[in-house]
Each structure stands twice: as C-alpha cells, then as structure tokens.
C-alpha cells in the first residue's frame, strides 16, 4: 500500500492547525503520516490519487478491497467531528455523502467518493444553482436533530453574552450599533431556537455531483436549530462574483427569496437568524483581532432590509 509522505501534507492545512490549536495542532499534523498508514492498513485501502485538504482535514482518494472508489478523511478529534459523525449517521446517505466506516478514537472517516471536481459553483446561472441548493437544503433540514448535537439556543446565549465586550473592540460607532442591532435580533428569537438538523456550512462548494443523485451535500457541521440560521453560507456563495456584478443588494435578496420560498420559512424569522450568523462571524473576526465589521457582512445585512 502507498503511504502518505510528510511532504504531501498541504502547508495551508498545517498552518491552520498551528493557528487554531497551537502545539496540539502541530503534533497532530506531525502524526498524520502514521495515522494515514494505520487507517489504510486497517480498512485495506489503496491510495488512488493526490491528497487534498481544507482548513480542518486531509482527504485521500482511495480504493477499497473490492475496487470501489472511496475517500479517507483524516481530522483531529473535536466537538465538530463528533457532530459530523452523528449527522452522517442520521442522514444515512440521503442527499448527504454516505459514511462507509469510521474510527471513533481518531475521528477518521471512510466516505463514498463523489465528483469532487464538479460542484454547484460550476453552474453559471445563479438562480438554477441556488434553487438546486435550496431543494437539497429543504430535504436535509426535514430530518429532526438527533440527541448529542449542540443546540442553537445554547450558541445564541453564548453569543449574546460576548457582545458587550466585543463592542468595545470595534473602532467605528456605526459598526458598534450594527453589532447591537444584530444581537437584538437574536435575543428576540433565542427562546425558540428550533429542532431541525442543520448542515451549518451548506454553500456551492459543499455540494458535489454524483451518480446516485444529481447533487449530494458534503462536510456537514451539524447543529440542532432553526433552518433560518443555516442560510448565510448559501447567501455568501461565490461572494467575490456577486460583488463583481455590482448588484449585491438585488442578488442577495433574490437568493434569500429563493431559499425562504423553497424551505417554507417565515421571512422575518429567517432574517433574524441570518443576522445571527453575521453576529457569529463578526465575533469570530473580533477574536482574531479585527476592529471593523467585514464589508460583506454589512452589505448582506443591508440587502435583507432593502427591496
């Protein structure tokens, strides 16, 4: 069996782990070749292509013993990977990548292989792409959240508790007022957080073409909550292209209307929870040292209130 060489680990993955997890992250990256070798041997897999990576995992195309193509996904055990396993088992391959095997100790996963080179981002007509994503999204959130997932109510409470301190880090008074407004929107909804199983990161690049279904979702970060909290990644898809067209307000509003229509969501609640995602993202940015709100967040918030 071909093993993973240390030089195959992408630098951006190593940098991400060092930034996010410090010494623990660097140690995990150093142990990746040994972990890959262990999983390849345990599941009797052969390497079948070049290693790929996102910000949190290494992905190896492989062949199973019977020749079936699959993907070996290696990631450091943490709350998000535990949630992903819960979600993948609950969706059980319905409109979601199928989990073939997993190792609970290392959080390694063996997944079905999809057409990684063809995502929804390849569709040039944005209405077609967004409608396709919305229909897939509606099927995914129809599944009640199983036990063991974090609740949106818990996350909302944590966000609201952090707002007063975060406001002091913003240098612009208009930004500070926006953050207060977004927090107020979340506070109005926090008592009814919802109970659907959310993907939490469903955008164009996390929907791949496949043989058994035209399009299948990947890389869930499951959460129990209101589907309105799940819209931001879709609205943000291909954002640079949205900005380049010079019609940001209309495009975002059109996407929002498509999503809420197909998912059957109350627009006021969906707007409030989308502002909650902008709040969450902004709090993370502030943790990273930012002193201004992201222009994309401001533009999206403005789009939701203008026709």
Rounded-to-5 percentages of helix, strand, coil across the chain? 55, 15, 30
What gap in Å lies between CA 163 and CA 247, rounded to an integer? 31
What gap in Å lies between CA 182 and CA 280, rounded to an integer? 10
Q: What is the largest CA-CA distance in the chain?
A: 62
DSSP string, 88-100: HHHHTTSSBPPEE
What gap in Å lies between CA 160 and CA 168, rounded to an integer? 14
Two structure tokens written together for 121: 């981002």
Annotation says 288 is catalytic: no
Residues 109 and 39 sit within 8 Å (Cβ to Cβ): no
What gap in Å lies between CA 171 and CA 173, rounded to an integer? 7
> One of 175, 201, 230, 236 is an active-site residue; which one?
201
Supply the residues annotated as catalytic. Answer: 201
């Amino acid at each position: 069996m071909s093993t993973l060489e240390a030089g195959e680990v992408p630098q951006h993955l190593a940098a991400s782990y060092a930034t996010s997890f410090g010494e623990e992250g660097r140690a995990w990256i150093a142990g990746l070749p040994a972990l890959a070798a262990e999983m390849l041997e345990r599941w009797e897999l052969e390497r079948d292509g070049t290693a790929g990576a996102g910000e949190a995992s290494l992905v190896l195309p492989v062949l199973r013993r019977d020749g079936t193509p699959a993907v070996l996904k290696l990631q450091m055990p943490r709350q998000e990977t535990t949630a992903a396993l819960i979600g993948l088992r609950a969706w059980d391959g319905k409109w979601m990548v199928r989990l073939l095997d997993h190792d609970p100790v290392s959080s390694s996963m063996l997944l079905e292989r999809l057409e990684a080179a063809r995502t929804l981002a390849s569709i040039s007509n944005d209405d077609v792409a967004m409608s396709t994503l919305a229909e897939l999204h509606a099927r995914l959130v129809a599944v009640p959240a199983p036990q063991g997932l974090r609740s949106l109510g818990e996350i909302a409470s944590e966000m609201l508790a952090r707002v007063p301190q975060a406001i002091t880090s913003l240098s612009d008074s208009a930004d500070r007022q926006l953050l207060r407004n977004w927090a107020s929107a979340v506070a109005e909804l926090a008592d009814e957080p919802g109970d659907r199983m959310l993907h939490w990161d469903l955008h164009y690049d996390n929907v791949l073409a496949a043989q058994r279904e035209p399009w299948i979702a990947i890389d869930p970060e499951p959460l129990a909550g209101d589907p309105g909290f799940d819209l931001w990644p879709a609205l943000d898809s291909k954002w640079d292209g949205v900005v380049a067209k010079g019609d940001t307000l209309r495009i975002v509003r059109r996407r929002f209307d498509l999503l809420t229509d197909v998912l059957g969501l109350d627009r006021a609640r969906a707007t409030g929870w989308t502002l909650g995602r902008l709040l969450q993202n902004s709090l993370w940015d502030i943790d990273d040292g930012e002193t201004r709100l992201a222009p994309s967040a401001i533009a999206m918030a403005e789009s939701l209130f203008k026709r």
